[in-house]
């Protein structure tokens, strides 16, 4: 009776439990197995859908209102989704009607504010829909003792990161943070990005901003993202700058507290 050698164990299989990366997919001849190919196509479809999903600003404003937040709805200079994707520069500036609306709001509320929070659909409205409210809840919980004055939450349709600079400048805000849907990946169609700027004004480059990315349940927790953002804001106020000259050392402090004072685990990593 002919005996066949046992199939060698694939050492990569155990790693699949530790990462969403596509590893140890197997093969059939020279091709991927059908299940792996279908999973890839499904992930690709999710990413495409996230890019083209309409921004549900009506629902988001309603939920913000239920939590006691005033909001303003603005639009970038990009007239529709097609133009937004073709002309990134238009997504970085407000439509003139929206800019005028913001000027009128600032005139009716003179004196400026410490913080303007901007929410834009970016390249994944899905991320904004899923994560804006729970992140803001954790942020407000941790920022309660700082006493910063805030403008109404500004929602921007077809917005890109730099649109927050114009919003902040028109509102006379000392700081801005924009919550925006990041470019979808094949394992993360709903990743939320936070971009913080001190002394915002039109014309700033990315070097003047600090980024906190991959805010979602499978990535950076709401609590840790809020902790890192607050660290940046407090340091920015102290040093009067942001961007490449402001290093994010918040994680170092949280890890120190986890290893010494907080033996039960780092509360910042939990979603509660």
Look at residue 23 in the predicted model and tell me its pLDDT.
81
Within 10 angstroms of residue 133's Cβ, the number of other Cβ atoms is: 17
Within 10 angstroms of residue 236's Cβ, the number of other Cβ atoms is: 20
In angstroms, the CA 179 to CA 155 distance is: 10
Look at residue 20 in the predicted model and tell me its pLDDT.
76
In angstroms, the CA 101 to CA 75 distance is: 11
Query: pLDDT at residue 38 above 70?
Result: yes
Provide CATH code, domain 54-132+146-220.
3.40.50.11240
Look at residue 64 in the predicted model and tell me its pLDDT.
96
Q: How confident is the model at residue 14 (pLDDT cuts 50, 70, 90)?
A: confident
pLDDT digits (tens, 9 = 90+) for 233-252: 999 999 999 999 998 776 54
How many Cα atoms sit within 13 Å of 86 on the Cβ side? 6
What is the percentage of the chain residues whose pLDDT exceeds 90? Answer: 71
What are the contacts of 22-26 at 24+ separation with CB within 8 A?
22/186
In angstroms, the CA 29 to CA 264 distance is: 49
Domain assignments of the chain as residue spans, ordered by start? 54-132+146-220
Q: How confident is the model at residue 153 (pLDDT cuts 50, 70, 90)?
A: very high
Look at residue 248 in the predicted model and tell me its pLDDT.
74
Beta strands in the chain (DSSP E): 71-75, 113-120, 153-157, 173-181, 192-198, 209-215
What are the contacts of 250-254 at 24+ separation with CB within 8 A?
251/224, 254/224, 254/227
What is the percentage of the chain residues whose pLDDT exceeds 70? Answer: 88
Helix (H/G/I), strand (E/B), else coil: 262? coil
In angstroms, the CA 65 to CA 70 distance is: 6
Q: In degrees, to the nearest 5, what angle opens at C-alpha 9 toward C-alphas 5 and 15?
A: 170
In angstroms, the CA 171 to CA 82 distance is: 29
In angstroms, the CA 232 to CA 248 distance is: 7
Q: How confident is the model at residue 3 (pLDDT cuts 50, 70, 90)?
A: low
In angstroms, the CA 69 to CA 153 distance is: 7
Look at residue 1 in the predicted model and tell me its pLDDT.
56
Mean pLDDT within 101-122: 95
């Amino acid at each position: 009776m002919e005996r066949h050698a046992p199939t060698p164990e694939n050492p990569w299989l155990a790693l699949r439990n530790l990462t969403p990366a596509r590893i140890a997919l197997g093969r059939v001849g020279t091709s991927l197995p059908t299940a792996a190919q279908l999973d890839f196509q499904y992930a690709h479809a999710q990413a495409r859908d996230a890019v083209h999903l309409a921004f549900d600003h009506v629902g988001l404003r309603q939920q913000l209102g239920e939590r006691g937040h005033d909001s303003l709805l603005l639009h970038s200079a990009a007239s529709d989704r097609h133009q937004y994707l073709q002309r990134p520069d238009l997504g970085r500036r407000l439509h003139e009607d929206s800019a005028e609306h913001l000027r009128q709001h600032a005139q009716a509320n003179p004196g400026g504010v410490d913080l303007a929070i901007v929410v834009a659909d970016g390249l994944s409205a899905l991320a904004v829909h899923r994560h804006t409210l729970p992140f803001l809840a954790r942020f407000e919980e941790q920022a309660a003792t700082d006493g910063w004055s805030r403008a109404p939450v500004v929602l921007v349709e077809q917005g890109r990161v730099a649109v927050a600079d114009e919003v902040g400048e028109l509102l006379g805000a000392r700081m801005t943070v924009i919550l925006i849907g990041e470019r979808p990946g094949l394992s993360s169609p709903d990743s939320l990005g936070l971009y913080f700027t001190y002394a915002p004004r039109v014309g700033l480059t990315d070097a003047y901003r600090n980024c906190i990315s991959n805010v979602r349940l499978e990535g950076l927790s709401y609590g840790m993202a809020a902790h890192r953002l607050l660290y940046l804001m407090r340091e920015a106020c102290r040093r009067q700058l942001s961007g490449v000259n402001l290093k994010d050392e918040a994680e170092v402090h949280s890890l120190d507290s986890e290893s010494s004072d907080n033996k039960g685990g780092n509360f910042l990593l939990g979603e509660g």
